[in-house]
Amino acid sequence: MTPDPIDRLLRDVEPRTLALAGAALLLISILVGVLYGIKPVWSQYTGLKEKHQLAEAGLSRGNENTADTIAALTREVDSLRDRLYGGAAGVPRRQIESFVVDLLDQISRRHGIDLLGITPDVPTSIWMFEELPYSVKVEGSFFAIHRWFYDVEKELRPMVVKRFQLTPSRDDRTVILDLRVVAYRATEGVGT
């Protein structure tokens, strides 16, 4: 009968080497246990402890934090109102068309764009917003129209471009942009 390779290996290996291999295996097992078992739990524990301490400190300060929180919430409400109403926030409904026409004219002059026409269409109500459609036609260089459009979108927000057509002019040095934009405005009494 031939000796088993494991038995032969155990007989040939010195006991000290075997003890070192066992110690290394035990050390690796402990390290894996710490890294994957104890460390994540300890991290959660310390995180919860820090949150608990912050919560206790917050309760003791109470009123100081309340004023700061109110100020922060007021700024956030103002920011959201600005995003909702855009540049026409303080403009009464009956003056909105002249506001839009005047603003488009100012932006056009700023960028050297010829404002060929603005036609307000019939406003409609959608949910709690009023949809204010306009057909706009401008002429200028492509890049000037790009900058013009960026300013229009920024200053007349919230708005959506429903349709646009870009065609070269007769002299091929400029382009004509024909678009239909729809500005949205919260219905009177909503959010005020």
Q: What average pLDDT does the chain have?
A: 80
Side chain identity at residue 76, one-letter code: E
Q: Which of 155, 118, 162, 121 is nearest to 138 (CA)?
A: 118
Average pLDDT over residues 55-74: 72
Query: Model-level pTM?
Result: 0.53
Alpha-carbon distances of 87 from 27, 82, 107, 145, rounded to whole Å: 68, 7, 13, 20
pLDDT(181) > 50: yes
Number of domains present in the structure of the chain: 1
Q: Which two tokens stand for residue 189?
A: 């009494």
In a domain, 62, yes or no: no
In a domain, 106, yes or no: yes
In a domain, 149, yes or no: yes
Q: How far apart are CA 141 and CA 172, in angstroms?
A: 10
pLDDT(172) > 60: yes
In a domain, 115, yes or no: yes
Domain with residue 163: its CATH number is 3.30.70.60
Domain that holds residue 125: 91-186
